[in-house]
Structure formats: structure tokens, C-alpha cells
Chain A
């Protein structure tokens, strides 16, 4: 089955800096890669996703890149703000079933 590894597990940055979260996956048939943000006491919320026919996608301060050959994808947040502080999860579909398999999450702290 699919295995999704996410690193680092925690990251602390100063406001205005950039943050990068990296994920690797094992199933070469994976074709959908969403990123979720979870604030304390809330359910995860989709912030951006990418499909296997696209190498990069941007939405304002957030971008995601996908390298299918290397089986890794990354989330880039520029000009970080304190409200970006949260836990971020990557996920990838398991080929065939399209079940989402999640990484263990990364806690981002943006210091004012």
C-alpha cells in the first residue's frame, strides 16, 4: 500500500520568512496530492492540491511542486504570517482505490 512520509515534523520561522514542507510517497500510481491545514481544535481544511499532470501550482502565498520521478512533493509558503501557524498534512492517493493516505503532519510556528 501507499506510504507517505513528511518532514520536518516541526518548523519554527520568523514572520516574513518562507517555509517549506516536504513529502515523499511510495505508490507510483498516486495521482492526487492535497495539502491540509489544521488549526487547534478544528478539523483539517484543504489549502491546495495538485494532480499528477501538473508540476507546480500556485495560490497567492502558497505553492506546491510535484516530482513524480522522485516521488516527492513540497509545499512552499512565502511571506509567512502568525496566522499560518498550524499543523500541515500532506496526502497522496493509493493507486486503484484512490484512498487518501496522510503524512504525520508538520507543526509550523510563525513567530511575530
Chain B
């Protein structure tokens, strides 16, 4: 069956531009997560959705970062006025219902800010 998909796989942008990253979770999964992985680092939690609501946004590093989820499915992570320190791999994951259900990860979007 289809896993979690993300697009684009790679994104190169200039400092100050806005970017949108997309995540398609596994069908039927109500929980969706965004993580950020910097070079040689672990996974940094950004935001958690349950359905279309985001009960935990505690990991968003600044107000330049926002995310939404529509129809209980697709999610978009938006970074406004990108900075070089935003360069990282952005990973999306989904789980059936709870945060302690198995989280299935997508392949990630590699963002490079020049």
C-alpha cells in the first residue's frame, strides 16, 4: 500500500523567499507530524495534527513557520522569509490515531536556503 509521500523531494530557494512543503499521509491515519532533521542531528519535533487540529505546535521555531491540514489528510508546512539556518531535511510522519502508535515517515524534503 501507499506510504507517506512528500513533495518536493528537494527545494533550493533564496534567502527571504517563502516555501511550501507538502505531505500526503497514509490513508486513514488521523495523526500527522512534522519533524526537522539538520545535518548529523536527531529529529526535532515541529508540530502534531489530530485531524485538522494542531493540539501541539510547541516545536515551531518561530512565527515564520506555520502548518495546516485540510480534509484530515494533506498537510502543508510553510516557511516565510527563509533564512540559511532553515536549511534541513523536513520529515513528515503519520500514525493511525495516537502519538504512541507506530509513526510512519515519508522520505523527506531537503530544503537548501542560499
List the interface of chain A (C-beta within 8 A of B): 6, 31-32, 34, 36, 41-46, 49, 89, 91, 93, 97-105
Contacts and interface: CB of A to CB of B under 8 A. Distances in A.
B111 interface: no
A102 B48 CA distance: 15
B47 to A, nearest CB: 11
* Majority secondary structure of chain B interface residues (helix, strand, loop or mixed): loop
Interface string B48-82: 10000000101000000000000000000000000
Contact of B42 (A42, A46, A49, A105): A105
B84 to A, nearest CB: 22
B43 A102 contact: yes
A43 B91 contact: yes
Contacts of B105: 36, 43-45
A32 B100 contact: yes
Q: How large is the interface on B (under 10, 10 to 19, 20 to 34, 35 or more residues)?
A: 20 to 34
A6 B40 CA distance: 13
Contacts of A42: 107
A109 B103 CA distance: 25
A35 to B, nearest CB: 12
B56 A97 contact: yes
Instruction: For the complex of A and B, list the 3 residue pairs with the smallest distance between their C-beta atoms, beginning with the closest.
Output: A43-B105, A98-B99, A104-B42
